């Protein structure tokens, strides 16, 4: 029969002999940190058609303590994988079609929600230059007017799988440059167009999918992925995610902002107090990723020493288009 939590606390010292890095709360099967938010919301999400992993079900019990004897090899269970990305992100399965999705908790008063709604509108999604993650659904939370959940397809980091051919790499950054130009045309500054916000659709590359919390695995346990080259499965779609720092400028409003540090703290405009052009910051941030990946002639183009010499994305896009034809 299942062990009680008091019995598990007593057995914890023995468990440490097997795994000295084991955490007590983890071992006895308690949820930690932001996990409580998702456990409390699980019945609501199920009713709305989204199934969380077993660990986040309201009636979950740690499987390593449910038999006639304790299994001290806790980390050999997928359900031991805890939430390490804070309380604002979690994966789920859309019950209607089995699609892997990600739920993102956002504050309703920020620009992120209206930006997401606008960019995912039918007209915007029909534009091939739109490389922002599509919003599949918006869930208003019960008894909480200050937050909502955005439902998005589960993506993988743009460089999680190696680029094998120059054309694959060129296509990725063509899409990112085109995507920034599209955002700026619609007066939207991303303000964090950095490494971990550059994603790709991995559904054709990794047909078995990746574990959301342990993306180097299919199941959260076994290292290694079965995957295909980009060029062998046809065009890959690349996306920008995370508009939590983004700003949408009204027609006629001056394009300038201040603060809002993203992942890249080397942005020249952030070293001065004066308002700056956030569109230029976007192209600097994306250019910095490009530099880190290839370190070629674009260094002089996108990383000048003075903020007022930074170029706009349209000019960078023209230079890039010429370069990729060489």
Residues 206, 225: contact at Cβ < 8 Å?
Answer: yes
Q: How large is the angle between the packed helices 166-185 and 278-294, nearest 10 degrees?
A: 170
Smallest CA-to-CA distance from 213 within 86, 44, 29 is with: 86
Q: Are residues 178 and 277 in the same domain?
A: yes
Helices (H), 159-248: 166-185
Would you say residue 300 lies in a domain?
yes
Which tens digits make up the pLDDT trace of 31-55? 988 999 999 999 999 999 999 999 9
Would you say residue 37 lies in a domain?
yes
Q: Are residues 165 and 69 in the same domain?
A: no
Q: Is the pLDDT of residue 92 over 80?
A: yes
Q: Are residues 177 and 311 in the same domain?
A: yes
Structure tokens, 9 = 């606390």
Would you say residue 125 lies in a domain?
no
pLDDT at position 146 is 96
Q: Are residues 172 and 71 in the same domain?
A: no
The residue assigned the tokens 């920020």 is: 110
Strands, DSSP E only, in 20-130? 50-51, 89-94, 99-107
Domain boundary among the residues 87, 110, 126 is at 87
Q: Are residues 190 and 286 in the same domain?
A: yes
Residue 103 is classified by DSSP as E
Q: Number of structural domains, the chain?
A: 2
Residues 189, 247: contact at Cβ < 8 Å?
Answer: yes
Smallest CA-to-CA distance from 163 within 231, 217, 223 is with: 231
Lowest mean pLDDT among 22-31, 47-56, 196-205, 310-319: 310-319
C-alpha 57/C-alpha 39 separation (Å) is 6
C-alpha 144/C-alpha 136 separation (Å) is 21
Q: What is the mean pLDDT of residues 205-232?
A: 95
Would you say residue 135 lies in a domain?
no
Model confidence, pTM: 0.86
Q: Are residues 75 and 206 in the same domain?
A: no
pLDDT interval class at 66 (50, 70, 90): confident
Q: Are residues 51 and 188 in the same domain?
A: no
What is the domain extent for residue 13?
A: 5-87
Q: Are residues 170 and 316 in the same domain?
A: yes
Smallest CA-to-CA distance from 214 within 94, 55, 57, 60 is with: 55
Would you say residue 147 lies in a domain?
no
Which tens digits make up the pLDDT trace of 172-216? 999 999 999 999 999 999 999 999 999 999 999 999 999 999 999
pLDDT interval class at 114 (50, 70, 90): very high
In the chain, the percentage of residues whose pLDDT exceeds 90 is 64
The greatest distance separating any two alpha carbons of the chain, rounded to the nearest whole angstrom, comes to 70
Sheet of 147-153: strands edge to edge? 50-51, 89-94, 99-107, 147-153, 137-140
Domain boundary among the residues 87, 107, 131 is at 87
Residues 115, 130: contact at Cβ < 8 Å?
Answer: no
Q: Are residues 81 and 201 in the same domain?
A: no
Residues 64, 1: contact at Cβ < 8 Å?
Answer: no
Residues 311, 301: contact at Cβ < 8 Å?
Answer: yes
Domain boundary among the residues 87, 119, 143 is at 87
Q: How many CA atoms lie within 13 A of 155 on its CB side?
A: 25
Lowest mean pLDDT among 13-27, 149-163, 257-271: 257-271
Would you say residue 43 lies in a domain?
yes
Which tens digits make up the pLDDT trace of 120-152? 999 999 999 999 999 999 999 999 999 999 999
Per the prediction, the chain carries an average pLDDT of 89
C-alpha 221/C-alpha 211 separation (Å) is 9
Structure tokens, 157 = 């980091």
Which tens digits make up the pLDDT trace of 264-302? 888 888 788 889 999 999 999 999 999 888 764 444 445
Other residues' Cβ atoms within 10 Å of the Cβ of residue 132: 22
pLDDT at position 300 is 44
The radius of gyration of the chain's CA atoms, rounded to the nearest angstrom, is 23
Would you say residue 309 lies in a domain?
yes
Q: Is the pLDDT of residue 232 over 50?
A: yes
Q: Are residues 83 and 162 in the same domain?
A: no
Q: Is the pLDDT of residue 220 over 90?
A: yes
The residue assigned the tokens 């370069």 is: 323
Would you say residue 187 lies in a domain?
yes
Q: Is the pLDDT of residue 16 over 60?
A: yes
C-alpha 122/C-alpha 143 separation (Å) is 30
Q: Are residues 162 and 311 in the same domain?
A: yes
């Amino acid at each position: 029969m299942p062990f009680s939590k008091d019995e598990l606390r007593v057995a914890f010292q023995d468990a440490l002999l097997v795994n000295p890095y084991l955490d007590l709360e983890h071992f006895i099967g308690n949820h930690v940190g932001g996990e409580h938010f998702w456990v409390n919301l699980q019945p609501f999400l199920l009713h709305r058609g989204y199934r969380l992993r077993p660990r986040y079900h309201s009636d979950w019990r740690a499987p390593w303590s449910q038999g006639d004897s304790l299994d001290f090899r806790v980390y050999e269970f997928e359900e031991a994988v805890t939430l390490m990305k804070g309380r604002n992100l979690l994966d789920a399965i859309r019950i209607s079609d089995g699609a892997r999705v990600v739920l993102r908790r956002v504050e309703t008063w920020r620009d992120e929600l209206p930006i997401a709604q606008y960019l995912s509108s039918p007209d915007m999604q029909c534009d091939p230059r739109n490389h922002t993650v599509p919003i599949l659904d918006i869930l208003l939370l019960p008894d909480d007017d200050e937050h909502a959940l955005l439902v998005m397809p589960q993506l993988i980091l743009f460089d999680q799988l190696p680029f094998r051919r120059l054309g694959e790499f060129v296509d990725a950054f063509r899409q990112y440059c085109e995507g920034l130009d599209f955002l700026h045309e619609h007066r939207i500054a991303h303000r964090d167009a950095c490494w971990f916000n550059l994603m790709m659709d991995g559904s054709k590359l990794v047909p078995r999918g990746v574990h959301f919390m342990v993306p180097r695995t299919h199941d959260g346990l076994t290292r290694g992925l079965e995957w295909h080259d980009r060029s062998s499965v046809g065009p890959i779609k690349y996306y920008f995610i995370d508009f939590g720092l983004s700003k949408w400028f009204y027609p006629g409003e001056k394009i300038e902002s201040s603060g809002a540090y993203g992942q890249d703290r080397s942005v020249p405009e952030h070293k001065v107090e004066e308002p700056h052009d956030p569109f230029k910051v976007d192209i600097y941030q994306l250019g910095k990723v490009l530099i880190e990946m290839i370190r070629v002639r674009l260094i002089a183009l996108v990383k000048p020493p003075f903020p007022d010499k930074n170029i706009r994305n349209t000019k960078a896009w023209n230079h890039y288009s010429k370069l990729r034809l060489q």
